[in-house]
A and B are shown apart, each in its own frame.
Chain A
């Protein structure tokens, strides 16, 4: 684990040296706060923003997070593998007594640090709402846990495609499309009046639906496991991709 932490820290430092990482975190924050404070989200056909909230909750704020993650996280993850593979530093890294899973976990940790930073920068919102009304912190905590779990799942997806394509732009587009899809099956697609059989499948696949359960503050085990399994699957696939490159 020490090696994974070393690699994670190095990759994190590399994020902090990268203007692109800052730009995407800023876009993420601008999108969330701009929509929540200035434009408003639709709830029951009416536009609701921070200024006309009828009760102190962050439901509307967190409803924006899945879509925002679908852009932010592919943008972060696209850097992690393609840089390593294209510059050839992987050859030197793999000549060290380091195992593929340690590199994968290290890179995953670096991405998680960035996601944590992005989420920490949103913390002023609940504190501000708490100033004006009686905020129930349960759903807030659930939402943050859900965001971390969903973020981790997206990140492992992006990491995998980065290793598979070793090309930043391709990795970004494919990851963003799949992230958008798993977000959309729970939101836009619920309005399509799908047959009930298909509807239950899309509900099971949907990240948004599961994120919304967590955001109620109950943290159901099945939803937590869904995100964890999704993330773990792509991390394992990622290790496999790296191992397979040896035999190419």
Chain B
């Protein structure tokens, strides 16, 4: 069942067409990575889903409610962490979370329990009574995540949730997101590609207001390029190494990439399954009396896909 359905969403800011017909859907229990360069329309899309902006045309349905017609019902089911984590500076974390709960008509013991719970989840205990304007970037970010989780929303939209966190906190937040994603729907906007790869089951890439890719990270990689590359380092002259490697079946496009201290680096493309080509190359080199230093398969990364799809025709 789709928790979020977006159809032909368009948004113009004056003459600027920020969204040019965006379509995607997110299922329950899915963590969707929403990727795109700056200005591609990521944040605009999130602002439309959360009811902050109205689309120029198109439809967005969240948890069965149209964001234009039934915005309050949508927002009741949604937790949102906006980019840059805007917070009220002159409140303590406790006061702020209490305020957030009251806006959601929570109260009494239930609200107190939930506050204790989200403060525990996000590790905010040491700063519970600190003023927001005294918090470091990492703690601010956690307050933002805490308020988004407060009412146990069915849908969570996080815009750059790990910006400003230290590496330990990043790991914590990612595992928190994965945990939440088990029974809820999460959209994670991010620039950090390894993060998306590590957390998201599915990825959407938006570029100049259009969706340019949609699928699992694996699908994106194989659709973009099914090729596998190998980097070989071996003790021998460049011409000899190139020749030996080039004669192995399943190898194509051998290029020398460097030579230093008698070690030659060569890159080639495998046109057969990598499980066949790799050992065959190793055997051939050893058979020719060339010592193999390393043989590294190199697959297309999500970063390659991202750059390949979004680098051209900037704006």
Contacts and interface: CB of A to CB of B under 8 A. Distances in A.
A88 B52 CA distance: 11
A41 B13 CA distance: 55
Interface residues of A, number: 25
A224 to B, nearest CB: 33
B54 interface: yes
Interface residues of B, number: 29
Given A3-B103, A91-B82, A92-B80, A99 B54 contact: no
Interface string B71-97: 011011010101010111111000100
Contacts of A90: 52, 86
Contact of A246 (B53, B95, B105): B53
Given A17-B90, A88-B82, A88-B84, A95 B105 contact: no
A42 interface: no
Contact of A247 (B54, B73, B95, B147): B54
Interface in B121-167: 147
B58 interface: no
A97 B91 CA distance: 21
A91 B87 CA distance: 10
Given A6-B99, A246-B53, A97 B75 contact: yes
Contacts of B87: 89, 92
Interface in B29-75: 47, 50-54, 72-73, 75
Contacts of B91: 10, 13
A149 interface: no
B42 to A, nearest CB: 14
Nearest to B147: A92
Given A14-B90, A88-B86, A89-B87, A96 B103 contact: yes
Contacts of B298: none
A197 to B, nearest CB: 44
B291 interface: no
B105 A3 contact: yes
Nearest to A106: B103
Nearest to B84: A88
B86 A92 contact: yes
Contact of B82 (A2, A13, A92, A248): A92
Q: Which of B50, B78, B80, B103 has the most CB of A within 10 A?
A: B103
Contacts of B311: none
Contacts of A14: 88, 90
Contacts of A97: 72-73, 75-76, 103-105
A246 B90 CA distance: 27
A248 B13 contact: yes
A101 to B, nearest CB: 12
Contacts of B309: none
Contacts of A17: 90
A246 B13 contact: no
A58 interface: no
Interface in B243-274: none
Contacts of B295: none
B307 interface: no
A94 B51 CA distance: 7
A7 interface: yes
Given A3-B103, A10-B88, A17-B90, A96 B82 contact: no
B213 interface: no
A97 B87 CA distance: 17
B43 to A, nearest CB: 10
B46 to A, nearest CB: 9
Contacts of A98: 72, 75, 103
Contacts of A87: 86, 89
B24 to A, nearest CB: 20
A96 B100 CA distance: 8
Given A2-B105, A3-B105, A87-B86, A95 B75 contact: yes
Contacts of A99: 72
B106 to A, nearest CB: 11
Contacts of B88: 10, 14, 89
Interface string A46-68: 00000000000000000000000
A96 B53 contact: no
17 contacts: A3-B102, A3-B105, A13-B95, A14-B90, A17-B90, A18-B90, A87-B89, A90-B52, A94-B50, A95-B51, A96-B75, A96-B100, A97-B104, A97-B105, A98-B75, A246-B52, A248-B13
The 6 A-B pairs at the shortest CB distance, nearest first, are namely A88-B86, A95-B80, A95-B50, A6-B102, A97-B76, A89-B86
Interface of A: 2-3, 6-7, 10, 13-14, 17-18, 87-99, 246-248
Given A93-B103, A97-B104, A98-B75, 9 more contacts: A7-B103, A89-B88, A96-B100, A96-B103, A97-B105, A98-B103, A246-B54, A247-B54, A248-B53
